[in-house]
A and B are shown apart, each in its own frame.
Chain A
Amino acid sequence: MTQLTDIARGEQVSGHRPWPRLRVTPQTWRTLANEMTEGRATLLGLWGDAGEVHMAVMGEVPHDIIVASLQCPDGTFPSVGTLHPPAIRFERAIHSLFGLEPVGAPDARPWLDLGFWDVQHPLGARRPAPVARPTYEFLPVEGEGLHQIPVGPVHAGIIEPGHFRFTANGETVARLEERLGYVHKGIESLMAGATIARAATLAGRTSGDSTVAYAIAFAHAIEAALRIEPPPRARFLRTLMAELERLANHFGDIGAVCNDASFSLMHAHCGILRELVLRAAATAFGHRLMMDCVIPGGVAVEICPDGIACIRETLAELRQRFPRLVELYDNTASLQDRTVATGIVSAALARQFGAGGYVGRGSGRNFDARKDLAYAPYDRLDFSVPVLDAGDVNARVWIRIREVEQSFALIEQVVAQLPEGPIAVAVGGGSGEGLGFAEGFRGDVLVWLRLDGGRVARCHLRDPSWLQWPLLEAAIEGNIVADFPLCNKSFNCSYSGHDL
């Protein structure tokens, strides 16, 4: 099988680990775009740097990953989005943040920059923003009897802010267009020049619901860059935290999807299960969401003496309660009526976008960083990755249900096999570049960074939502407006993780 390094020839950058980074020519850049268009490669991320753009690509086998870098001496680079639509939003963001222009891009509108900042291109050649905020043109929708429904940024509910522009014909959605960026906090700018500890704090607050996953992905990148191996006990404790986080979020989501179908009984019971998990986490690690518990080099906190017993007890209760809720979900016709065949994402789209998590796996894309990149200790643990083909709301619920069951099994193994020993190694200074992944509840989180003398020179964090938000626009097409909350909840994309 052809490896990406056979296709993308280029000077290999030293000190980039664990996968190679190559300096490529514009021609090779286009070749890679073409490989993705042909379905032989998957776009993992595309981000800017000082006078340079980087693209993480995965070949036909998961471990075949490269980062291709292209210098932009004249401030431009060949658009990937013109060939491969998943790149479009990344390129718009690169242009807004760095001022680097994707030549031939199909959509030149800004992304993330909503016109409220004092500066333009805050991560590149900064210049003062125009005094008057430029108007943003939504994509045109033509036809008879169409009306628009603008929603947000402030939504009706305890939800993150973002803008949705619906064009509907009666009840049926003809087009949904998202406009995001409202919670852009400038995380990547705050990270530039930060100490590793400060950057880890920021990484853990990129998307609060995935704080453990982000902390692990960030730690993986740091440890790769500095050639550090965290102790085995730390790896296991990280996994324990990651699976508790997955459980809490999946319980929350399963309940919330049912709630959006007006079946609040499931919501109430799933809410109880979620709370039990968070309480176990608080007992074991001292924080309900386990924020700042994972650090580069290991973990920050030892599991408390009662922690293991508490987790075992909680798990026993969850194992007893959850199957009844699954049965309830499966046997309630009025609920199934809402979730089955609603908000379908085709397998082709999920594959093209490289969508991770339940969005990808609910539409036949069999990828899970725990299995396919097999970072320790998942390589030694016994679990399976559920995949379904239907691509509807129901499939995304079932993926979560099956993953809950797998997480039960993983937690039992981790607790039984937890090695003794230290929980962290010291992280000194140093320079290098690292690429790290972690499978969060919503999909694979990517972190890429460059360290310079023990400080973060550049760090990019790619939330799984980047490759899922566009699919929500596709999923809702032809559905009724009233099913949008249901579809949206079944995706549960992160606004904060996307907006950075």
Chain B
Amino acid sequence: MRRTLFESLTHGPLTEAPPARDDAALAELARSVERAARRRLGRSLAIREVDAGSCNGCELEIHALNNAFYDLERFGLRFVASPRHADVLLVTGPVTRSMTEALLRTYNATPDPKWVVAVGACAKDGGVFAGGYAVTGGVSAVVPVDLHIAGCPPTPTQLLRGLLGLLEGGAAA
């Protein structure tokens, strides 16, 4: 263990430069996020992830945001365990019928001001799973969505771009 720890001290970090924010995502955001609320929260957002029916592909890439290469926390973004502590709900999946109520309750348990980011192709409109007896649809069919991050699944870089847009939206809006 000593050798590993020592190397961690002497070797440079793996963390990479942040990607440019996603301008398309930003435009969507500017319409939906109030400047005042953003000022109140500053450059720090607590994120609660909600899987509303995903295949778990999106979860894998959201997990990757915490690894040494992407290091989400350096931007003041962190995942929290309870919707009560969250500013942002990061929602994946087509919303299944069986998760619709749970998603709504999670949303209602999140204090204002709050944002909802829908992650992945399924969260947009149900994706490949749209239309069945078991799927309600995209996230916006259940709760208001402020930002969509496309991809199946979106790469960690795409996720970062979208989330940075959420943070820095204030400057551009």
A residues bordering B, Cβ < 8 Å? Answer: 114, 116-119, 122, 153-154, 156-161, 181-187, 189-190, 198, 201-202, 205-209, 211, 252, 265, 268-269, 271-272, 274-275, 278, 282, 288-289, 291, 324-325, 328, 331-332, 494-496
Contacts of A156 in B (CB 8 A): 81-82
B66 at interface, CB cutoff 8 A? yes
B52: nearest chain-A partner, CB-CB: A161
**Given A189-B133, A291-B152, A161:B57 Cβ within 8 A:** no
Q: Pick the contact of B57 from A185, A269, A271, A291 — CB < 8 Å?
A: A291
| 8 residue pairs from A and B, CB less than 8 Å apart | A158-B63, A159-B51, A182-B98, A183-B53, A189-B133, A208-B54, A208-B56, A325-B4
The closest CB in chain A to the CB of B131 belongs to A190
CB A127 to nearest CB in B, in angstroms, measures 12
Q: Is the CB–CB distance between B1 and A332 below 8 Å?
A: yes
Residue B99 is within 8 A (CB to CB) of chain A in the complex: yes
In the bound complex, do residue A272 and residue B67 qualify as a contact, i.e. CB atoms below 8 Å apart?
yes
> For window 21-80 of chain B, which residues contact chain A by CB distance below 8 Å?
49-64, 66-69, 79
Q: How far is the CB of B9 from chain A (nearest CB, A)?
A: 13
Question: How many angstroms from the CA of A325 to the CA of B63 in the assembled complex?
Answer: 20
Interface hub of A118, A202, A205 (most chain B Cβ within 10 A): A205
Q: Is B101 an interface residue (CB 8 A)?
A: yes
- Contact (A328, B1) CB under 8 Å given A160-B59, A161-B99: yes
Interface centre among B14, B54, B98 (most CB of A within 10 A): B98
Using a CB–CB distance below 8 Å, which chain B residues touch chain A? 1, 3-5, 14, 49-64, 66-69, 79, 81-83, 93-94, 96-102, 106, 128-129, 131-135, 152-153, 155
Task: For the complex formed, measure the closest distance between the CB of A141 and the CB atoms of chain B, giving whole angstroms.
Answer: 25
Once A158-B63, A182-B96 are accepted as A-B contacts, the answer to whether A190 and B57 lie under 8 Å apart by CB is no
**How many angstroms from the CA of A328 to the CA of B8 in the assembled complex?**
14
Determine if B54 and A275 form an interchain contact, defined as CB atoms under 8 angstroms apart.
no
Beyond A153-B99, A190-B131, A332-B1, whether A160 also contacts B67 by CB under 8 A is no
B54 to chain A, nearest CB (A): 7
Q: A186 is contacted by which of B69, B93, B100, B135 (Cβ under 8 Å)?
A: B135
Q: Are B106 and A158 in contact (CB under 8 A)?
A: no
Q: Complex: how many Å from CA A114 to CA B102?
A: 12
Contact A116 B56 (CB under 8 A): no
Question: In the complex, A153 Cα to B134 Cα: how many Å?
Answer: 16
Q: Do the beta carbons of B60 and A289 come within 8 Å of each other?
A: yes
Across the interface, name the chain A residue whose C-beta is closest to B14: A272
**How far, in whole Å, are A122 and B55 apart by their CA atoms in the complex?**
21
Q: Tell whether, in the assembled complex, residue B102 and residue A495 are in contact, meaning their CB atoms are under 8 Å apart.
A: no
How far does the alpha carbon of A190 sit from the alpha carbon of B55 in the complex, in Å?
15
A456 to B97, CA, bound (A): 25
Q: How far is the CB of B131 from chain A (nearest CB, A)?
A: 7
Smallest CB gap from B67: residue in A:
A271
- Complex Cα distance, B5 from A265, in Å, reads 9
Which of A159, A186, A332 is in CB contact (< 8 Å) with B129?
Answer: A186
In this complex, what residue of B is CB-closest to A278? B64
B96 touches A183 (CB 8 A): yes
Which chain A positions have C-beta within 8 A of B64? 271, 274-275, 278
Query: Which 3 A/B pairs are nearest by Cβ-Cβ distance?
Result: A208-B57, A156-B81, A186-B134
CA–CA, A291 and B82, complex, Å: 31
Q: Is the CB of B57 within 8 A of A184?
A: no
A119 to B132, CA, bound (A): 11
* Known A-B contacts A153-B102, A160-B51, A209-B56; A185 and B68 likewise in contact (beta carbons under 8 Å): no
Residues on A with beta carbons closer than 8 Å to the beta carbon of B129: 185-187, 190, 202, 205
A289 to B68, CA, bound (A): 19
Given A186-B132, A209-B60, CB of A116 within 8 Å of CB of B55: no
The residues of A that contact B128 with a CB separation of less than 8 Å are 190, 198, 201-202, 205
Among candidates B3, B54, B66, residue contacting A324 with C-beta atoms closer than 8 Å: B3
Residue in B closest to A187 when the chains form the complex, CB atoms: B129
Q: Complex: how many Å from CA A183 to CA B81?
A: 20
Query: Which residues of B are found within 8 Å of A272, using beta-carbon distances?
Result: 14, 67-69
Decide: A122 and B133 in contact? CB cutoff 8 A.
Answer: yes
Supplied contacts A158-B59, A268-B67, A269-B4, 4 more A-B pairs, CB within 8 Å: A118-B133, A122-B134, A182-B98, A324-B3
Residues of A within 8 A of B100 (CB): 116
Inter-subunit contact B57/A205 (CB<8 Å) = yes
Residues on B with C-beta less than 8 A from A328 are 1, 4
Whether B101 contacts A185 by the Cβ 8 Å rule is no
Chain A residues closer than 8 Å to B5, beta-carbon distance? 265
Instruction: Specify the chain B residue showing the minimal Cβ separation from A119.
Output: B133
Within 8 Å CB of A153, what residues of B? 98-99, 102
- In the bound complex, CA of A114 to CA of B64 (Å): 32
Residues of A contacting B94 with CB < 8 Å? 185
- Complex CA gap A269/B3 in Å reads 13
In the assembled complex, which residues on chain B have CB atoms less than 8 Å from the CB atom of A117? 97-98, 133-134
- Tell me which of B100, B131, B134 has the highest count of chain A C-beta atoms within 10 A of its own C-beta: B134
User: Are A116 and B97 also in contact (CB < 8 A) when A184-B134, A186-B133, A186-B134 are?
Assistant: yes
Is there contact, CB below 8 Å, between B68 and A271? yes
Tell me, rounded to whole Å, the shortest Cβ–Cβ distance linking B44 to chain A. 19
Which chain B residues border A206 with CB–CB below 8 Å?
A: 55
Cα A352 to Cα B135 with chains together (Å): 35
Question: What is the distance, in angstroms, from A494's C-beta to the closest C-beta of chain B?
Answer: 7
